[in-house]
């Protein structure tokens, strides 16, 4: 009773001529169309991320003003033509600070995701690929990681590693290991049970070859999607740590730190917290949207 999808309909149609390749044509066209049809929200998300990356790579091009040196005469000006995002208490241009801050947030998120992705995926794949004591040991370790509240775990790690953007990023990364490991393991276990993996063994495949050739390519799409999602979360967490004072020290234009600094003026100068906050929100939502788009594509 499944709803007829284009596959089933076209498949039924092609079946009639098993030797003729000509009837593949309709199928090929729909695939090409699917690639061309980009959903607007996904496109917008990619644009937001692209702008943020461009800010990180060449901040001077987008915001020539100095993000650190301020002019006291211009203090606490509302957003306008001269200062798009306004100025803070020491007269620093907020737009310039946000642009120059991109590198801190993005590189931090990149480090965090890399740590989580690499360590978590390796643990998860190993736990999924082998049975017995090793798998059990890894998964119990992951359970322990999951049991500790995330913020508490991050703060503890920073206290051990020391303060700073890189340390905060590593701390965020370590807290995401468990999520990556669990997902990677469940995907590997799922794919391992599939007929085509057994068929690969049946045709004489060795374990490592089957793992590399069949299991990994088919199980890691979901992990990549989680990495995109985690990228957004990491920006948020790094900003949280910055806000709490565990991240980059002032006067670094880090997004979380900027929001924290603007907090004292929230009643009179809304732009100090709101605009950097909106930038964080835009980047995080974009990362989430891209993540779900990646997941959708995999389900097709």
47 binds another protein (CB under 8 A): no
19 binds another protein (CB under 8 A): yes
Spell out the SS3 assignment of 175-191. Answer: HHHHHHHHHHHHHHHHH
194 binds another protein (CB under 8 A): yes
Q: Which is nearer to another protein, 5 or 71 (CB)?
A: 5
Please identify which residue in 72, 81, 160, 202 interacts with another protein, judged by CB under 8 A. Answer: 202
217 binds another protein (CB under 8 A): yes
Q: Which is nearer to another protein, 148 or 196 (CB)?
A: 196
Smallest Cα–Cα separation from 121: which of 208, 239, 197, 215?
Answer: 215
230 binds another protein (CB under 8 A): no
Q: Which is nearer to another protein, 21 or 162 (CB)?
A: 21
d(CA 55, CA 59): 5
**Residue 196 to residues 200, 202, 214: CA-CA distances in angstroms?**
6, 9, 8
208 binds another protein (CB under 8 A): no
236 binds another protein (CB under 8 A): no
Can you read off the two tokens belonging to residue 191? 């794919």
d(CA 284, CA 233): 7
d(CA 164, CA 241): 10
- Tokens 């007929």 correspond to 195
Q: Which is nearer to another protein, 3 or 72 (CB)?
A: 3
d(CA 44, CA 293): 12
Q: Which is nearer to another protein, 188 or 237 (CB)?
A: 188
- What's the CA angle centered on 234, arms 249 and 99, to 5 degrees? 55
299 binds another protein (CB under 8 A): no
Q: Which stretch binds another protein (CB under 8 A): 44-52, 92-100, 141-149, 203-211?
A: 203-211
143 binds another protein (CB under 8 A): no
Please identify which residue in 199, 212, 266, 281 interacts with another protein, judged by CB under 8 A. Answer: 199
CB 216, min distance to another protein, A? 10
Can you read off the two tokens belonging to residue 255? 């997004």
Provide the residue count of the chain.
300
* Chain centroid, CA 295 distance in Å: 13
β-pair partners for 87: 93
Please identify which residue in 100, 185, 192, 214 interacts with another protein, judged by CB under 8 A. Answer: 214
156 binds another protein (CB under 8 A): no
Q: What are phi and psi of 87, to 5 degrees?
A: -130, 160
212 binds another protein (CB under 8 A): no
- Contact residues for another protein (CB under 8 A)? 1, 3-16, 18-21, 24, 27-28, 30-31, 33-34, 37, 194-196, 198-206, 209, 213-214, 217-218
């Amino acid at each position: 009773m499944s709803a007829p999808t284009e596959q089933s309909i076209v498949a039924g149609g092609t079946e009639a001529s098993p030797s003729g390749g000509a009837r593949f044509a309709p199928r090929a066209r729909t695939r090409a169309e699917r690639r061309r049809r980009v959903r607007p929200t996904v496109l917008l998300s990619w644009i937001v991320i692209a702008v943020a990356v461009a800010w990180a790579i060449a901040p001077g091009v987008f915001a020539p003003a100095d993000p650190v040196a301020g002019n006291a005469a211009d203090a606490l000006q509302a957003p306008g033509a001269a200062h798009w995002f306004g100025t803070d208490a020491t007269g620093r241009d907020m737009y310039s600070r946000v642009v120059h801050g991109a590198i801190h947030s993005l590189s931090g998120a990149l480090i965090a995701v890399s740590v989580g992705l690499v360590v978590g995926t390796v643990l998860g794949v190993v736990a999924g690929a082998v049975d017995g004591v090793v798998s059990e040991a890894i998964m119990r370790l992951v359970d322990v990681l999951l049991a500790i509240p995330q913020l508490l775990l991050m703060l503890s790690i920073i206290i051990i590693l020391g303060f700073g953007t890189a340390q905060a990023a590593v701390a965020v990364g370590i807290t995401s290991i468990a999520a990556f490991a669990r997902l990677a393991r469940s995907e590997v276990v799922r794919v391992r049970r599939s007929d085509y993996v057994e068929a690969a063994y049946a045709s004489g495949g060795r374990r490592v070859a089957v793992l590399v050739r069949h299991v990994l390519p088919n199980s890691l799409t979901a992990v990549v999607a989680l990495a995109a999602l985690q990228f957004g979360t990491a920006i948020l967490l790094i900003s949280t740590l910055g806000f709490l004072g565990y991240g980059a020290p002032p006067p670094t234009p880090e997004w979380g730190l900027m929001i924290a600094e603007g907090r004292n003026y929230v009643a009179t100068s809304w732009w100090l917290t709101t605009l950097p906050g909106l930038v964080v929100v835009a980047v995080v939502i974009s990362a989430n949207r891209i993540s779900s788009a990646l997941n959708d594509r995999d389900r097709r």
